[in-house]
């Protein structure tokens, strides 16, 4: 599954927690669906760059769709 790492990597956030959750999003530009986005618990959630069309900030997370257990990050 296509994966985007949306975690904040500043030292403060990294030290704060290692709890990660996964959301499923889609690209509003190219229409690619089912893109897995990793977030750190407590991070501000932001739109991400698309791994397919490479446009900036076009991948939106689904506000009501957490990833299911079988939706895992790409290796």
Count: domains in the chain: 1
Residue 75 placed within a domain = no
**pLDDT of 62:** 65
Amino acid 69: pLDDT: 86
Within a domain: 71:
no
Q: Which long-range contacts (C-beta less than 8 Å, at least 24 apart) are formed by 14-23?
A: 16/40, 16/42, 17/41, 17/42, 21/66, 22/66, 22/67, 22/71, 22/73, 23/61, 23/62, 23/65, 23/66, 23/67
Residue at 46 is within a domain? yes
48 found inside a domain: yes
pTM of the complete model: 0.82
- Low pLDDT (below 70) residues in the chain: 62-64, 75
What is the extent of the structural domain holding 49?
3-66
* Residue 25 covered by a domain: yes
Is residue 12 in some structural domain? yes
């Amino acid at each position: 599954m296509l994966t985007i790492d949306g975690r904040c990597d500043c030292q403060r956030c990294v030290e704060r927690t290692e709890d990660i959750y996964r959301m499923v999003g889609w690209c509003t530009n190219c229409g690619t669906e089912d893109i897995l986005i990793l977030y750190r618990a407590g991070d501000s959630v932001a739109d991400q760059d698309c791994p397919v069309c490479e446009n900036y900030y076009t991948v939106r997370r689904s506000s009501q769709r957490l990833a299911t257990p079988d939706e895992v990050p790409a290796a």
